[in-house]
Amino acid sequence: MTLSGRLWRHSDFRKFWTGDTITQFTGQISGLAIPTIAILTLRVTGFQLGLLQALGFVAFPTLGLFVGVWMDRMKRKPVMIVANLIQVATLASVPVAFAFGVLGLYQLYAVSFSMGATTVFFDVAYQSYLPSLVSKDDVVEGNQKLQTSASAAQVVGPSVASVMMQLVGAALSVAADSVGTLISVFTLAWIEKPEPAVAPPETKKDFFAEMREGIKVVTGNPLLWTQAGCTAMSNLGSNMFGVAVLLYAYLTLGISKGVIGVAFSIGAVGFLLGVLITPSFTRRVGLGRAIALSIAGNFALLLVLLARGDLAVVTIGVAYFLSSIGVPIYNINQVSLRQIITPNRLQGRMNATMRTIVWGTIPIGSLLGGVFCTTIGVVPTLVVGALIAGCSVVWIVLGPIVGLQRQPQPAVD
């Protein structure tokens, strides 16, 4: 169960979890505040907003495979700490520039790109670090607890962000994320358990041979390849939708920045519910069916089109509530699956290859969302994005994952 388990007694995991929880909460603030600055203060076009969102993820398809090899050649905790320190300075630049009256779109572009580039290093190290911090028997529990924090942050964070933006403005609200990320640096540094030793230099292969080995781990394993295709397609559609929905909410429906966060908080209650029911739901229907049913929840995003008048915020919230229930069910099960079946020495390259594929479609989706909003309109873009995201279930239904009843035996390191 998420609220029980052995990891409550694992002091180093508690430190790791604490830092992650704080940044999950504060990240919700900057995640809403930065596009709000772009839309309401800088009056960007749909294409400019799409470009801003895309720059936050363009580093994954360009750097991801290289980072994967590096993460299998070095200790992962120091990489996370350095990445966080760079993010502290990057986020702090937004309120500082605003205070001096020089905040502009190109700085937001630079902030988005810098945050994305450092996130590549942090996330590949982060997902590769967990299986070395806890035993593989505890990986699923660890992911459940981390997803619980993510869900709680998504419930509370957007509403807190809306209140902060109303009180101090969107730009100054970003300072909260800078402080939260700094706290995470200290919690990571506080972890005492040493990481497993990396391979000595004389036993290492050629850099690109190692990269190819990491790619082959994913492309040569039907379970991993199916995950990659499904998640990539879902991210493509949902990020097209994500660009359009903010323009739809602010400019078409006239929802204010002091209220918009309520819609996402309502939606995030579904995420929290999904975390809580993941173990029982997965046991009841089986691992493969749970993954399939959860990703099909993307079709519920189409309900956003029913938003009208005073109930617009509630309607958007309900659409996100229904679609969000499946997100943690999908994430907990598929991330745990790939961590369990992959040896520790390949975790960095496997996670980097997966991230390159599945997050590589995010900037494409954001750019397409911006282009479509400008050319065919916001509402058609919402429809296209939701349909693409929902149809990603085809990968699971037609692949080997749907037949799995439970997690397989862990790989031998």
pLDDT tens digit sequence for 203-214: 556 778 878 888
d(CA 279, CA 320): 22
Tell me the average pLDDT across 339-356.
81
Predicted confidence band of residue 413 (pLDDT cuts 50, 70, 90): low
Separation of CA 403 from chain center = 26
Q: How far is CA 3 from the centre of its chain?
A: 22
What's the CA dihedral at 317, 318, 322, 327 to 10 degrees?
0
Percent of the chain with pLDDT over 90: 57
pLDDT in tens, 101-119: 999 999 999 999 999 999 9
Q: What's the angle, vertex CA 91, arms to CA 56 and CA 69, rounded to 5?
A: 50
Q: Taking a C-beta distance cutoff of 8 angstroms, is the pair 390, 398 a contact?
A: no
35 or 352: whose pLDDT is higher?
35
**CA-to-CA distance for 103 and 41, rounded, in angstroms?**
10
Tell me the pLDDT tens digit for each residue of 91-100: 999 999 999 9
Domains within the chain, CATH numbers bracketed? 6-193+206-403 (1.20.1250.20)
pTM of the model: 0.79
The tokens describing 376, both together, are 């065919």
To the nearest whole number, what is the mean pLDDT of the chain?
Answer: 89
Chain segment 368-389, per-residue pLDDT in tens: 999 999 999 999 999 999 999 9
C-alpha 5/C-alpha 376 separation (Å) is 50
Contact 118, 110 (CB under 8 A): no
Nearest to 125 by CA among 208, 69, 199, 62: 69
SS3 percent helix, strand, coil of the chain, rounded to 5, is 85, 0, 15
* SS3 label, residue 398: coil
Whole-angstrom Cα distance, residue 321 to residue 256? 20
**Per-residue model confidence (pLDDT) at position 4:** 64
